[in-house]
Structure 1
């Protein structure tokens, strides 16, 4: 098991040992990874799932938190979805890099109800692990470079601890330099 330096006060266990802390599609996707035990999971208070509240309550650095945002774009009446993984200290370039990558006229954050329905995950816990297979997973270079990250688990009551390289190796993952910009 990895010794997670970013865990703060969290109690981290190998994710496969606690499927009760994972959304069903996340548990299935973890089982398919080359080394599923290298991914940790920690139970948290679901009321503290939002990044800023989570970091404050558990002493985990904001700079080690990565968020998964679901993006929807339309082209010729077809809706195209993607997930973008960005550090919590950055903002996704939705109408620049992501719009061009999806080859759509307009891109925006997918409506909450639609994102929840399509992913089988809870809002505030959506993660790239276990997303629909046809979706590209766009990963900012800064995320891929991080040795330790805290991300959603598919539910609000836990968090995954994972390396950026493990995220970059997910099926459908594409590492893109400049996918996000620092929040000023």
Structure 2
């Protein structure tokens, strides 16, 4: 899973390098896969509370915001947190994952 701002696009080549996999293996998940892996439907997927471990990357750009709003499971439901708290809760690696950033 990759967590970033809704205003940013994820660079799939960068994510592939960070994960040590071929670029063709990194793509947007379809709704059925998201439900299977997270137990949540697209539209409010939370970064936590999944049935099993889910490797997660968090965009370092989220540090630009004092607070971030993350999906909380049901559609139209969010919770307020910080980039640092998200990293702690998920055990995620914080990295530059957005297009056009180093």
* TM-score between the two structures when normalised by the length of structure 2: 0.82
Map of 1:117 onto structure 2: 36
Higher radius of gyration, 1 or 2: 1
Aligned ranges for residues 25-174 of structure 1 at < 5 Å?
Answer: 83-94=1-12, 96-105=13-22, 106=24, 107-174=26-93
Shift in Å, 1:135: 2.0
2:47 and 2:79 mapped to 1: Cα distance?
Answer: 11
Could you list the structure 1 runs, at least 4 aligned residues long, displaced by more than 6 angstroms after superposition.
none
User: Any conservation in 2 of the 1:144–1:175 contact (CA below 8 Å)?
Assistant: no
Which structure is higher in strand share? 1
Change beyond 3 A, Cα 1:153–1:171: closer
Give the CA RMSD over aligned residues.
1.8
**Local SS of the residue matching 1:175:** strand
Give CA deviations for 1:94-139 in whole Å, capped at 9, x if unaligned: 1x11111222221101111011121011211112122355322101
Q: Which runs of 5+ in 1 are unaligned?
A: 1-82
Q: Does the alignment pair 1:179 with 2:97?
A: yes
* TM-score between the two structures when normalised by the length of structure 1: 0.48
Q: Which protein, 1 or 2, shows the higher relative CO under an 8 Å CA cutoff with sep ≥ 6?
A: 2
